[in-house]
Every structure is written in structure tokens, then in C-alpha cells.
Amino acid sequence: MIPRYSRPEMVSIWEPATKFRIWFEIEAHACDALAAIGVIPKENAEAVWKAKDVEFDVARIDEIEAVTKHDVIAFLTHLAEHVGADHARFVHQGMTSSDVLDTCFNVQLTRAADLLLADMDRVLAALKTRAFEHKDTVRIGRSHGIHAEPTTMGLTFARFYAEMERGRRRLVTAREEIATGAISGAVGTFANIDPSVEEHVCAQLGLTPETISTQVIPRDRHAMFFATLGVIASSMENIATEVRHMQRTEVLEAEEFFSAGQKGSSAMPHKRNPVLTENLTGLARLVRMSVTPAMENVTLWHERDISHSSVERAIGPDTTVTLDFALNRLAGMIEKLVIYPDNMLANMNKFRGLVMSQRVLLALTQAGVSREDSYRLVQRNAMKVWEKGADFKTELLADPEVTAALSPAEIEEKFDIGYHTKHVDTIFKRVFGEA
């Protein structure tokens, strides 16, 4: 977790104080459920809630852990200092540490997912606004970095919207998958604790009881969670790369917003570098790097080993904090991205009409010229544009083999931009349900 790439709300989910707060709630709710079935006295359960508003002393707990080398015991010892040893001895009855740790971890991941969903909403809103704003802003579509046919900037935003919306749906699913809790004892048999305790605790915390746990909640859930974040990060990199290309000196169809006080480089003041999107490219790698260890964590020896734990201590906070920061940076970048429609037009016209070659090819075929001949005719005129800077339309109008098949008016019509944008509304309706 790097401070400069962190937002406080997500960071706070992972702070020790939050963790101990969740542990407390798990233990206190468990006491209620144990009291409800008569395993412990009601007054002891109630007494635990005395600590409800306590801010647990993280340093003190660390101190105890330094001796016991066991974090949950350290916490329970500290809790006893608040509710009294007499009441405290009923706490954690029949439970195992992992009941607390794993349920807490999933509460944290669920909350993290909620923040990330809000982040994605901000990204989606920005993309939608910019898509409608530039629905008809014509630019050249490119494949292989080479001009292909006209499209619009709105379509570019719209496809990022559709991709991010898929990401959001996946995250909703991943959140649901990770929102489980387990209070099932040392090997998951409920031998020492009634399943009703798990049900109660989960209901109170907004979780679903884990179908079947061992000492731990199965880690395929976590693997799927981090894999989902990895795909979202990859989509983010896809958007970032588009902007980086648009901001290239030679392209200059867009620029990240450049605030007044900002210095682009210590040496070249004229430079406005796409540093936000380059940064997002790197952050995507950081998010993605959690996927493999999360998958390696799925295999645990028998009813559990603790190899997954150190991995999760790192990737739990780091990955969610990084993605949270990155999605917000992404949203802000999109919201303020400066678009240059004039440059888009200028770029499109760089190879005077050449991007219309596909239409001419089709028209020739439809006019009865064979596919091979049509190809040859288009190719020979196109090459003049490419190599000598000729105007494509002019060349076509001067090629007797072409004019034998197409009238000047027909050729002229092939260069109409409206032809390329006629289905923009259709596509917008698919993406946004409106156009």
C-alpha cells in the first residue's frame, strides 16, 4: 500500500482498529446466539456489548500478542480488560481463531467491494457523459495503429462504458461470492458450536453462512475475487492506453487535464505528458499481480494450513487500495479529458480519402467487378495516395477502369462521412438503452 496511491476510505477498512471492531462484533453476536440456545448465560452475552463503543487499544493488543504469539488470544485478553474476566470467559466459546479471522476478512473484502462498486459507478457516469458529449465527434478508427475507417469519439467512450459495465457486473457477482462467514470450529464440523451461531452472526453482518467450511472458508472464493479485480484492472489499462495514444505528439486528439501549477518535467516545460494514464497502466499491473498468488492460495493442506495468510495480509489491502485509487484517478481523468475534435479531423484527412477505400472496393464489387479486380483497382489508386500524396477521390475519378464501373456521383457519395456514423444511435441504444 503506497500512500500516494491510496484513498483514506479504503485504507480505513484495513486498519487494525477496524479489524478489531469487526472481531468484536463477531464475538458479541456469537455470544448472543450462544445465549439464545442456552449455552452461555444471557447476562454474560449482554455484558460483552459493554465494549460496544470502545476504541480498542491496538498498541496494547500488539503488546499482548508479542507474548502469546497469537493475535486472537491477544484480542480476547484485551477484551477481557474491558468487559471483565468473569464475563469474558464465555466469549469465543466453541470457536476457533479462524472463525473470527476468516469471517472478518470477508467482511472487509465485502466492504472493499462496495467501495469499488461506487468507484466504478463514478467511472461509468464519466464515460456516459463523455460518450453523449462526443457521440458525433468524428475521428478515424484504427487497426494495428493504422487508419482504417471513420468512427466517433462517442463510440470509443461507449465501448469503454460497456466494458466497465461488464466489469461491474462481475464485481457484483464476486462480492456476493465473497460475502460468506463461517463459525464452524476447528475442522468445520460444528462439533463445539451450534450452526445457529453461524447463522446469527452472518445475518447480523450481512453475510451468508458458508455452505461447508473446514477450519477456514474455502479460498476458491478469494481467488475468484482477485481474478475479477485483475480483469477490471486490465480494462482500466485498455482505457489508459487509448488516452496515451491520443496524447502522443503526432496524434494529439486528446490531453489529460493540465492544471495551472503543474510542471510537466524539470527540463522541458512545453511537455504535457499523459502521466495519469501511464500511472494507471502501472497500477493495473500491480492489481493483476495478486491473481496468481490468490490462485496458489486455493490449495491448502487438509483442513487448512496458514500459507495463504501472509499473502492475504498483503494483497487484501494492497490490491483493493490500489484499484480504488486507480478507478478514481481513471474517473477524474475521463471527466476532465480535453478532447481536440479539430485534430481528429486533421488526422483523419491525413491520407486524402484513403480511408474510404473499403467503400470503393465494395461499390466496385456490387457494380459487377470481380473481387480480385476490384481489389486491384482500389490498390493501384490507393498506392498513389500513399506514395505520392495524391488525392484518392481525384485518382479514382481519373481511372477509366473505375469510372467504367462507377459514375462520378457514385464515387463522390463514397466519401460521405454520414455513411459511417449512421448506426451510432443503434449502438448507443444497445449500450445505454438510449441514444
| Residues marked as catalytic | 144, 265
| Interface residue with a copy of itself, options 185, 202, 324, 402 (CB under 8 A) | 185
All three cell numbers of 231, joined, read 480483469
Please state, in angstroms and rounded to a whole number, the distance separating the CA atoms of residues 34 and 197: 6
Which of the stretches 52-60, 111-119, 312-320, 399-407 binds a copy of itself when contact is defined by CB under 8 A?
A: 312-320
Please state, in angstroms and rounded to a whole number, the distance separating the CA atoms of residues 414 and 363: 8
Please state, in angstroms and rounded to a whole number, the distance separating the CA atoms of residues 5 and 3: 5
Which of the stretches 53-61, 120-128, 381-389, 401-409 binds a copy of itself when contact is defined by CB under 8 A?
A: 381-389
The minimum distance between CB 304 and a copy of itself, in angstroms, equals 5
Nearest to 188 by CA among 216, 167, 168, 152: 216
Does residue 60 bind a copy of itself (CB under 8 A)? no
| Beta carbon nearer to a copy of itself, 126 or 158 | 158
Consecutive H or E run containing 139: strand 138-143
Does residue 399 bind a copy of itself (CB under 8 A)? no
x/- binding map, residues 38-57, to a copy of itself, per CB under 8 A? --------------------
The minimum distance between CB 242 and a copy of itself, in angstroms, equals 7
Consecutive H or E run containing 220: helix 220-247
Please state, in angstroms and rounded to a whole number, the distance separating the CA atoms of residues 353 and 356: 6
Does residue 309 bind a copy of itself (CB under 8 A)? yes
Count of Cβ atoms closer than 10 Å to residue 81 Cβ: 16
Does residue 130 bind a copy of itself (CB under 8 A)? no
The minimum distance between CB 20 and a copy of itself, in angstroms, equals 15
| Interface residue with a copy of itself, options 12, 43, 63, 68 (CB under 8 A) | 68
Does residue 288 bind a copy of itself (CB under 8 A)? yes
Size of the site for a copy of itself (CB under 8 A): 160
Q: How many CA atoms lie within 13 A of 192 on its CB side?
A: 12
Enumerate residues 142-161 that contact a copy of itself by CB under 8 A: 142-151, 155, 158-159
All three cell numbers of 243, joined, read 488516452
| Interface residue with a copy of itself, options 18, 129, 241, 394 (CB under 8 A) | 241
- Per-residue buried b or exposed e for 382-404, using 16+ beta carbons within 10 Å of the residue's own CB: bebbeeeebebbebbeebeebee
DSSP class per residue in 298-352: T--STT--SHHHHHHHHHHHHHHHHHHHHHHHHHHHHHHPEE-HHHHHHHHGGGT
Q: What share of residues in the chain are helix, strand, coil (percent, to 5)?
A: 65, 5, 30
Please state, in angstroms and rounded to a whole number, the distance separating the CA atoms of residues 83 and 327: 42
| Beta carbon nearer to a copy of itself, 97 or 403 | 97
x/- binding map, residues 2-31, to a copy of itself, per CB under 8 A? x-xx--------------------------
| Beta carbon nearer to a copy of itself, 5 or 53 | 5
The minimum distance between CB 403 and a copy of itself, in angstroms, equals 19
| Beta carbon nearer to a copy of itself, 55 or 259 | 259
